[in-house]
Amino acid sequence: MAQSLIQFVGDDRSLQIDGVKLLGLDLNNGRKLLFTVIFFLFLGAGLAFALQKVVTSLAGYFAARHSTSAIESAWVECGAT
């Protein structure tokens, strides 16, 4: 008799994997766990995106500032004031 690998068994619909009942993990808790994991994945992706934008803008600011200083120093070395 072939049984499926993952089943919901009992009155509280607890999760059973390959005949081993996982205590405390029923249908409602599993749904909450899934939504929590998805929430934290989106939160992490959003924070990574925001941090990337901040670092990119700071790098652009300092690169522009450094290139201006290089142009000014070249200007001074040529003797033009």
Q: DSSP string covering the chain, please?
A: ----SEEEETTTTEEEETTEEEEEEEHHHHHHHHHHHHHHHHHHHHHHHHHHHHHHHHHHHHHHHHHHHHHHHHHHHTT--
Residue 50 has a pLDDT of 95
- The answer to whether residue 16 scores a pLDDT higher than 60 is yes
pLDDT of residue 80: 60
Please state the pTM of the whole predicted model: 0.54
Read off the pLDDT of residues 21-70 as tens digits, 9 standing for 90 and up: 877 788 888 889 899 999 999 999 999 999 999 999 888 877 777 665 66
